[in-house]
Amino acid sequence: MFSRADVERIARLARLELTNDEKDLYARQLADILEYAAQVQAVDTADVAPTALGVTGTAEWREDRVAPSLPRDEVLRAAPAADLAAGLFKVPRVLGS
Amino acid sequence: MNAAGIREGIAQGKTSAVEVCRRSLDRIDAAAALHAFQHVDRDGALARATDLDARRQELTRAPLAGVPIALKDNMCTTGAPTTACSRILEGYRPPYDATVVRRLRDAGAVIVGKTVCDEFAMGSSTENSAFGGTKNPWALDRIPGGSSGGSAAAVAAGLVPIALGSDTGGSIRQPAALCGVVGLKPTYGRVSRYGLIAFASSLDQIGPLSQTVRDAALVMNVIAGHDPLDATSVDVDKPDYVAALTGDVRGLRIGVPRHLLRDGVEADVTAAFDRAIDTFRGAGAIVADVELPHASLAIPVYYLIATAEASSNLARYDGVRYGRRAPADTLTGMYERSRGRGFGPEVKRRIMLGTYVLSAGYYDAYYLKAQQVRTLIRRDYDRAFDRVDLVAMPTSPTPAFPLGERVADPLSMYLADVFTVAANLAGLPGISVTCGFSAARLPIGLQLMGRAFDESTVLRAADAYERETAWSRERPPHYWS
């Protein structure tokens, strides 16, 4: 049901680098799990609205008020690479090279 | 060791917060073989206890003054690492406290450390922790349940009177059952998740694990309630949960879905469950059969919805803002490598499954369909609660299984949640209390589910059961007193 190429396509969507062993393992296991999960498809759900949250109809409007946010330096300090003085996270070069 | 007693002892000057804290820390050290803790904040806890002792007079009203509490390692805590037991968050120190942590601190609690869990709370055995799993205090060769296994083991072994866990598909109730303690999953929206590391946002709830139902009620009085920082937190009246514990279940209507107990449930579990129902009948409750026609679909629905939401929630771990980064030449390569190396096997499996069911061409067949069946499951419970006040069933179909038994077969691990996922899908409160032991002397849990926002009835019935029986006073072979 799942080829190596299928697994690679999903992994690319999920931004996951997988080893070849992982690809083979997941191809097998995802097929098993989906075969089991497919039993939901036999249920008649005509005119049944989907449930998206555990408890519905509770969201309310609130005023848009300014409130303190997290201290920038502390947030940046938790990053693998950041420039505190500039207030920026650092990532590999994105433009040009 | 219970919180109510500790608080009273400190208030009466019979003991001090420092003494209680030191005793808890010493037990945690002595119980290192259980590996219940991912991080112990010895210095921070003792400093906090010293401060509480100095301010004893002003704290007489603080409901948890001097009570040592452990937190599952997926709740953001300043002053301690928070990793969700994942390599990708190794060493992460959050710049803020989760709302539950802030509320516990305001109530006078002493946070002693962070407990081991399945990575990102994904699992039913705590074996998916990237830093080693937890052992069951009743039998060291068995799993403690999961994903809040460290919290359950810590309470069962007497290391702390209370721990917080999170429950997405049973992760508080199932380990509570398997370790022989009390575990409550509140109604969706009852307790703020601000600062909880998200797994599946339409299902996640935070709740207490404790040795007594009274302690669970005490914690609920502190952590429940509306929080503007969590948009799903609901602004409804919060009753006094301790005051609700009247011990009286006369006339209470308890529904039993007999049709669920026929297959796949171990005989010891069924026998203990039947005796528990008899106990309720004897105490004046009215027992009735209820039908939950879509119950067998709860596991597939749960694993479709939870993985879809997880794949979306875990997109944030990209090696940029927190945690570990694996170097690569390109930005995309950095994302892929950081995630590939930072996540463990079960987390990757779920991200893959969730990405697939949300991807173009499969969304309607899997994700939308699962959400529709979720509605049918919810309606089953709505109908049941027209006739009864509580629905009772075992918490887990088996007692604690051996370490390693189900690791290679994800589907068999998923089936451990067969009785617990429905409460999350329907957003309902559920509690697990010990209702007996297997022939091998492993605890068995009774689950009671209630109407949305009716934790009071759930706690009242569980407390009444605890008074009628002696199970909650049984101690495991690995217990520190």
ipTM above 0.85, yes or no: yes
Contacts of B369 in chain A (CB under 8 A): 40-41, 43, 45
What is the rounded CA–CA span in Å between residue B105 and residue B107?
Answer: 5
Single-letter code of the amino acid located at B199: F
Nearest Cα residue in chain A from B408: A29
Contacts of B194 in chain A (CB under 8 A): none
Nearest CB to A50: which of B359, B368, B424?
B368
Count of A–B CB contacts within 8 Å?
170
**DSSP string across B362-403:** THIIIIIHHHHHHHHHHHHHHHHHHH-SEEEEES-SSSPPBT
Q: Cα angle vertex A52, ends A47, A58, to 5°?
A: 110
Q: Counting Cβ atoms within 10 Å, is residue B116 exposed (0-12), middle (13-18) or buried (19+)? A: buried
Instruction: Count Cβ atoms below 10 Å from residue B474 Cβ, excluding itself.
Output: 14
**Encoded tokens for B458:** 């759930």
Q: Please answer yes or no on whether A54 and B424 come within 8 Å at the CB atom.
A: yes
Asked if the model's pLDDT at residue A1 lies above 80, the reply is no
Q: Given pLDDT bands bounded at 50, 70 and 90, which one contains residue A56?
A: low
Single-letter code of the amino acid located at B231: A
Asked if the model's pLDDT at residue A54 lies above 90, the reply is no
Residue-level pLDDT at B53: 95
Asked if the model's pLDDT at residue A61 lies above 80, the reply is no
What is the rounded CA–CA span in Å between residue B452 and residue B385?
Answer: 10
Nearest Cα residue in chain A from B312: A14
What confidence tens digit (pLDDT) does each residue in B35-64 have? 999 999 999 999 999 999 999 887 878 999
Q: Which of A12, A23, A55 to mutate to test the interface with B (most CBs of B within 10 A)?
A: A55
Residue-level pLDDT at A67: 87
What is the rounded CA–CA span in Å between residue B371 and residue B65?
Answer: 43
Q: Which of B303, B372, B407 to mutate to test the interface with A (most CBs of A within 10 A)?
A: B372
Its sign, for the CA torsion B73, B77, B79, B81, is positive
Asked if the model's pLDDT at residue A14 lies above 60, the reply is yes
Q: Which CATH number fits domain B3-246+459-473: 3.90.10.10, 3.20.10.10, 3.90.1300.10, 1.10.3720.10?
A: 3.90.1300.10
Nearest CA to B1 among B26, B37, B36? Answer: B26
Interface of B with A in 376-395 (CB under 8 A): 376, 378
- Whether B139 has its CB under 8 Å from any CB of chain A: the answer is no
What is the rounded CA–CA span in Å between residue B199 and residue B307?
Answer: 9
Residue-level pLDDT at A95: 81
Higher pLDDT, B31 or A55: B31
Q: What percent of chain B has pLDDT over 70?
A: 100
Q: Are A62 and A71 in contact (CB under 8 A)?
A: no
Residue-level pLDDT at A59: 65
3-class DSSP assignment, residue B423? helix
Q: Please answer yes or no on whether B336 and A16 come within 8 Å at the CB atom.
A: yes
Contacts of A51 in chain B (CB under 8 A): 371-372, 374-375, 378, 425
Residue-level pLDDT at B197: 98
Residue B171 appears among annotated catalytic residues: yes
Catalytic residue among B125, B129, B147, B233: B147
Contacts of A36 in chain B (CB under 8 A): 300, 411
Mean pLDDT, chain B, whole residue set: 96
> Helix, strand, coil: what percent of chain B each, to 5?
45, 15, 45
What is the rounded CA–CA span in Å between residue B248 and residue B240?
Answer: 16
Q: Are A65 and A31 in contact (CB under 8 A)?
A: no
Nearest CB to B351: which of A14, A33, A49?
A14
Residue-level pLDDT at B263: 86
Taking the CA atoms of residue B363, residue B366, residue B369 and residue B372 in that order, the dihedral angle to the nearest 10 degrees is: -100
Nearest CB to B356: which of A10, A50, A71?
A10
Which residues lie closer than 8 Å to B302 by C-beta, 6 or more apart? B169, B203, B417, B421, B424, B425
Contacts of A62 in chain B (CB under 8 A): 228
Q: Given pLDDT bands bounded at 50, 70 and 90, which one contains residue A57?
A: low
Catalytic residue among B24, B72, B129, B432: B72
Catalytic residue among B171, B338, B432, B456: B171
Q: Please answer yes or no on whether B374 and A37 come within 8 Å at the CB atom.
A: no
For residue A30, what are the CA distances in angstroms to A63, B402, B416? 45, 25, 18
Q: Are B354 and B307 in contact (CB under 8 A)?
A: yes
Q: Please answer yes or no on whether B371 and A50 come within 8 Å at the CB atom.
A: yes
- Whether B311 has its CB under 8 Å from any CB of chain A: the answer is yes
For residue B408, what are the CA distances in angstroms to A22, B85, B412? 13, 20, 9
Asked if the model's pLDDT at residue A97 lies above 60, the reply is no
Q: Please answer yes or no on whether A15 and B187 come within 8 Å at the CB atom.
A: no
- Whether B293 has its CB under 8 Å from any CB of chain A: the answer is no
Put simply, whether the predicted model's pTM sits higher than 0.80 gets the answer yes
Mean pLDDT, chain A, whole residue set: 90
Residue B315 C-alpha, separation from nearest chain A C-alpha, in angstroms: 8
Asked if the model's pLDDT at residue A58 lies above 70, the reply is no
Spans in chain B with pLDDT lower than 70:
none
The segment(s) of chain B belonging to CATH 3.90.1300.10 are 3-246+459-473
Contacts of B337 in chain A (CB under 8 A): 17
